[in-house]
Structure formats: structure tokens, C-alpha cells
Structure 1
């Protein structure tokens, strides 16, 4: 479902994101979200039939922003390996600059909300699953091992997420040499 964004929806998304990161899913009732967004509770229900719908649409909103930021600077004329490495580094940069999105996505993936849509996530449109499409293209073009794309996602994102978590915990930023080393390790593990 691709929702049409209005200023009010964006306001609701930002308030929801902020409150969930502070209080969790259950500690962020619609009334608290409405108050923080400075809108009536009815306005939220006008756009989102339920809190579950709001949270799922917030997930897709965050993913669309992430995809735009991560993939918009990638030069498609570069060799696949260079694109692979650039996208991974862009992911790290995005997550370290947007810790609110990172924290929300971390909570979301471990929640019943994600369980409810998990089977449909890999079937979503290409624009929503840009990374999945990119990795599938690498398999098709014989750049990557012919593995289940979920395994490739785990190798690719798992390392990125672990690195970002460590940096957030230590209150540090990843160094360029660390990024290069890690992405080389991933590439060497999945390249054909």
C-alpha cells in the first residue's frame, strides 16, 4: 500500500517514530501520538484505520526514505562489485545518521508487526525491496553465488546492523578502513 503523504501524515509518522523509540510500541498509544503530533486522535484514524496500520505504514515510510538515501547516489554504470560496496557503505552512513530510523526498524523486525507482514515483504514491489532486487540481479548476472536471497540479505545487512549497533553502544563512528575491511569480507564471502 503506497500512501499519499501529506504534512499531517508526515507529522504523525515523526511523532510515532519518536514515541516508539522512547516508549516502545505498547507505550505509545494513539492518544499520546496525537498529542505529540498536535492532531486530533480522529485525524490519525482518518489516515490509518488502526495502530497496527500506522506502524506498518511507518515501516514502509522509513524503508522508502532509506532506499532513496542509500541507492540515489549509486552510479549504475560502475561494476557490480563497486555498487555492492557503495550501497553497503551508504547503509552504514544512513543508519549512523538516522538512529531514530535504525532503532525503530530494529524494534519492528523483532515484533509481531513484522511477523504479520514477513511473508509478503519479499513479494513487495521492486521500489520497496530495492536491496532484494539488487542482490537478485547480482545472482542473475553471475556476480553473486546462487544462494537464497534471504541468506545474502543476512550476510549483507547482518554485518551492517551489528557494526552500527556496536558504534551506537560505544558512541563512535565507523572508520573508513573498518568499512572497507568489513565490506571486503562480505564481498569475498558471497561473490561468485
Structure 2
């Protein structure tokens, strides 16, 4: 891929993240994003035909960054339970270290933008949804209860997101004990 193209798109993504976290989706028009990214409005439309396309691509960009960070340092030869717990911890710590991504994803999941892609993510088990595949692997290998993967994701991510929100509200970081306790609660609830 063209390095200049990648840098320009990332510049647009960074500005979009910043503005959406401050002003929300509706308060972040393409003109404001272009100005903040120091690019012409026409340049944004060259890369993204519409604001909806920009938002959806930004979603996948954030998910890919998250997945790369969360899954890259997990040894796939480790027992499933160990990986389950490591991935969850990496997820929480990633969100706390990347609040711009966390804030954007929180807004995205409650928006009409997500409604447009949600069905494909769950039904088609999008190749880009690494967590879905990991939990599905746990069900198939009989490490996890035979539940709908949507329920497993809700338990796994719901607790992580709630913990991150609590830390943000309290302006604190989770302790090792809290991380271990929370992931043990999840594991004990979904293990076979």
C-alpha cells in the first residue's frame, strides 16, 4: 500500500477520532475533520465517499489496532484458559491506554452506523472479528459452554467495558487483583 496514502488516511482517522470523542458523530462534519487533519475536504471524499464510509472504516481501523495489540502477544500454543484470561487483560489495558478508541467504539456501538454492519459481523462471523473466532474456537473445542457466541461476547466484553468505565469514572487503574478476580468470574461463568 502507498505509504503516503496510509499516512493521510491515518491523519484523517486521528482527527475523526478526536473530534467524535469531543463533539459526537453529528458535531463532527467532514469540513471540520478536514480542517483538523489539515487536508482538503475533497481529499477526504477521495478516500471516503461519504461520512458513513469514513465512520465504518474508522471502526475497522480501531478494531484492527485493538486486535493486533490484544492478540499479537498471546502464544497460541498456551492452554485455552490461559489465552482466554490473557486476551481479556490485554483488552482492558488496551482500552485504558487508548481512550480515544474506547470512546469512539462506545459511541459507534450505540449508533445507526453499527446497525448497518452488525448483522454481517455476527451472522457471517466476519474474518475481521478475531474475538468472535476465538470464543467460537472455545465452544468448538469444548472449553466453553455451548452458548450462542453473541452471549459469550456480551459476557466477555461487557465486564471489560464496565471495568474500564468504572476506572474512568473513578480516575483510577485496575489493580492486578481486580483484573484477576474479574476474569476469573467470567471464566467460571462460561467454562464448560
Where 1:6 maps in the other structure, the secondary structure is: helix
How many residue pairs get aligned? The number is: 188
Distance in 2 of aligned mates of 1:125 and 1:27: 30
**d(CA) in 2 for partners of 1:60, 1:121:** 11
Cα separation, 2, equivalents of 1:179 and 1:187: 12
1:85 maps to which residue? 85
- Over 6 Å off, 4+ runs: none
Q: Counterpart of 2:190? A: 190
Match of 2:109 in 1: 109
The residue aligned with 2:119 is 119
| Residue aligned with 1:39, SS | coil
| Aligned-pair Cα RMSD in Å | 1.0
* Residue 171 of structure 1 pairs with residue 171 of structure 2: yes
- TM-score (structure 2 length as normaliser): 0.96
2:24 alignment partner in structure 1 = 24
Query: How high is the TM-score relative to the length of structure 1?
Result: 0.96
C-alpha distance in structure 1 between counterparts of 2:108 and 2:14, whole Å? 15
Structure 2 counterparts to residues 1-192 of structure 1, below 5 A = 6-122=6-122, 123=124, 125-126=126-127, 128-192=128-192
Measured against aligned partners, the alpha-carbon deviations of 1:54-109 in whole angstroms (never above 9, x if no partner) come to 00000000000000000000011110000000000000110000000000000000
- Gapped regions of structure 2 (runs ≥ 5): none
* Uncovered stretches (5+) of structure 1, i.e. residues with no partner: none
Structure 1 CA distance for aligned equivalents of residues 142 and 118 of structure 2: 27
Match of 2:61, SS state, is: helix
